[in-house]
Amino acid sequence: MQISMVSGVAAILSVLSSFLAEKFLVHASVLGGFLRLTLSHNPDIAFSIGLPYPFKEILIACALLAVLVLAFRSKHSALSSLAFGLIIGGAIANLIDRVPDGVVTDFIAVGTFPVFNIADACITVGAGMLLMESLVHKKE
């Protein structure tokens, strides 16, 4: 599986979902309110961590550059290629979302966890997959 293909699909789905949430979502409760779809605009980075300008922009650029270097530096398993694709696609989608107004459109709320979007989910799932793979290979 190619990293570029996965990252493209993840980015497109993430940007499209944020666009649709921005245009049509007001508020919806699912699973007795445990899962909520609610529109939120986040000027901060992961888990709503606020950093002053220009540290936020520098951190985002450095993190994306580090992931790109790791992703394209050597051969990977199918799992790690998928994981890197999800991380890169999610990061690109959040950058695309952030450019026009400096905020990211979040719309998924689960329990008391901070509101997030599909791009955030891609980044988190991808990072978790890389962690799982590294732990499995460490045991071997």
Active site members: 106, 120
Distances from the Cα of 123 to the Cαs of 26, 54, 57, 82, in angstroms? 25, 22, 17, 11
CB 88 within 8 A of CB 2: no
CB 90 within 8 A of CB 126: yes
